[in-house]
Amino acid sequence: MFKALDPQDINITPFKVYKQFTVTNTDSGSGVYGFKAVSASAHGWTESTGVKTTFDSASFYQMPSWLMINHMYYRDTINPYNNFGQNDNRQYRELHSSASIVAVSKDLYGERIKPRSIELTDDSTSTTLTIVDDGHGNLYDNSSAAYSASFASFSTSSFSNSETGSFVGNAFYEHGLLVFTNTGSRYNGIGTGTGTDGYSLKYKAQVTINEYEYVCIVGEREFNATMNITMTHGRSGSLNISGSDTWRSLPPGDALYKSGSYSTKYEPATEFTNHYTHSKWSPYVTQVGLYNDFNELLAVGQLSSPMKNDPEISLGIVVRFDG
């Protein structure tokens, strides 16, 4: 028994979900890499002589990495057509001759890193640094109230002050990249240390999930019949088997008597049992199946308890799931 759904009874609602990750410099094999990017001439550069940082699963060359971030994010900051990342005056960008990069694998951040969720703790210097993002793609030193206030002063001036304060770089959320551009001695090695001089990065990955809602309407006197064979007469049968291999054909316990309850043929019933034809009889709904146009079962909604399908009342059953 099938019924087509009214398009107005179908509702798809997207919503964003987040999962927090905490990774360290020892997780490079899982897709988190910290390395240097240095400007240099490309003339005569070769892969064999290029300076690189090597991990178990990848290698990153300093000069090509610098050219990449310069081309994608910094060279054309005033020309949004040729620029990646956000293009508004809430993000400050300035790239010097060297930078540090922490790259997070796409598998570990989904659609993007959630803004205002980044916290990187770095031990590459004698002082432990705490770097956070402001939600607009700016990374700043939040190790103390003084450093935080310094960045606040810089950002409220629309980044027009000559002193950049505790600004340390940029977060490009959609690409899973943290670029540390401040070349001061306090920030020069962020994200590139190892062992006790390493770092810990905490952030939230963002993914969009759809909630599917189907309102299945059972009108009055709809689906009040049954196809359950247990409601019919004449379903008995017998089977006699001779020989020594009866156990292959009979249920456990019946092989000794060489007879069982299996029927050798199906005889369609001609009438229902008496209680089914009673005027007060109604079937109960326990499950709702959703099918596509090719009659393929896609989803099954299980009711918490059987629901009587009263012929005098319309039912509305909501099937809801995430996908």
3-state secondary structure (DSSP) of residue 200:
strand
pLDDT of 103 reads: 95
pLDDT of 90 reads: 84
Q: What is the Cα–Cα distance from 198 to 121, expressed in whole angstroms?
A: 9
Q: What is the mean pLDDT of residues 229-233?
A: 75
pTM beyond cutoff 0.75: no
Closest alpha carbon to 13 in 206, 207, 212: 212
Under a CB-based contact definition with an 8 Å cutoff, are residues 126 and 75 in contact?
no
Q: What is the mean pLDDT of residues 189-201?
A: 87
- Sole residue written with tokens 């019919």: 232
The DSSP secondary structure of 206-228, one letter per residue, reads EEEEEEEEEEEEE-TTSS-----
| Banded model confidence at residue 113, pLDDT cuts 50, 70, 90 | very high
**pLDDT tens digits for range 296-313:** 999 999 999 999 999 889
pLDDT of 261 reads: 54
**If you count them, how many residues does the chain have?**
323
pLDDT of 227 reads: 73
Check whether 140 has a pLDDT greater than 90: yes
Under a CB-based contact definition with an 8 Å cutoff, are residues 118 and 137 in contact?
no
> Residue 151 gets which letter from DSSP?
H
Percent of the chain with pLDDT over 70: 83
Check whether 259 has a pLDDT greater than 60: no
Q: What is the Cα–Cα distance from 55 to 42, expressed in whole angstroms?
A: 23
Chain center to CA of 23: 18
> Residue 149 gets which letter from DSSP?
H
Distances (CA, A) of 317 to 44, 217, 297, 323: 70, 6, 17, 19
Q: What is the mean pLDDT of residues 144-157?
A: 83
Under a CB-based contact definition with an 8 Å cutoff, are residues 35 and 199 in contact?
no
Chain center to CA of 229: 44
Check whether 184 has a pLDDT greater than 60: yes
3-state secondary structure (DSSP) of residue 146:
helix
**pLDDT tens digits for range 34-79:** 999 999 988 888 988 899 998 888 899 999 999 999 999 998 766 6
